[in-house]
Amino acid sequence: MKESIMPRFSQLTPASAVGASRDLLGELVERHGTVGDMVATMAHSPAVLGGYLQLSKAMRRAKLDRKVSELVSIAVQTQQGCGMCLRSHIDAARSLGLSENEISRAQQSTSHDPSIAAMIQLGTRVYREPASITDAQVEELRGFGYSDREIADVVGVVALNVLTGAFNLVAGLTPGD
């Protein structure tokens, strides 16, 4: 992981944000009472904040099992280097009952379960080199019983992780900020 840096952008509130960001933050605060550091910082760009919120909402309708999704996220964030995202996904994995061994294996882009390892490997390839994904790899996933929808959902999981991880790294958000 990268060394700790200071946040590069301020966190906005409904009172300090302008335009569409003020509206989005106001709605979020009204619904949830507060927003996290990343969302408050994303408000500098209404396009990024709105896109994040829409993709995040859409991915809640994913067919991919939540445990597999978190393991893919852990593998991607380990490679991307966003400590804040990695911590969040590890916490989510623990809350879903995944073992420390399974979390550790995901950080190494694998799993003890060959079907989950194949999905994690798909996710890391989507992250690093999507053009390298082969017909045989997709057929292997189908052979493990994954539907085309679940396979496609991995692309959404990776896209959401790239957005949040890259944003946090550029903004200088680190665990504990």
Q: Which residues contact 20 (CB under 8 A, 6 or more apart)?
A: 46, 50
| Fold topology of 66-171 | AhpD-like (1.20.1290)
Residue type for position 8: R
Residues of the chain with CATH 1.20.1290.10: 66-171
How would you write the pLDDT of the chain (177 residues) with one tens digit per residue?
A: 445 568 999 999 999 999 999 999 999 999 999 999 999 999 999 999 999 999 999 999 999 999 999 999 999 999 999 999 999 999 999 999 999 999 999 999 999 999 999 999 999 999 999 999 999 999 999 999 999 999 999 999 999 999 999 999 999 998 864
How far is Cα 48 from Cα 104, in angstroms, rounded to an integer?
31
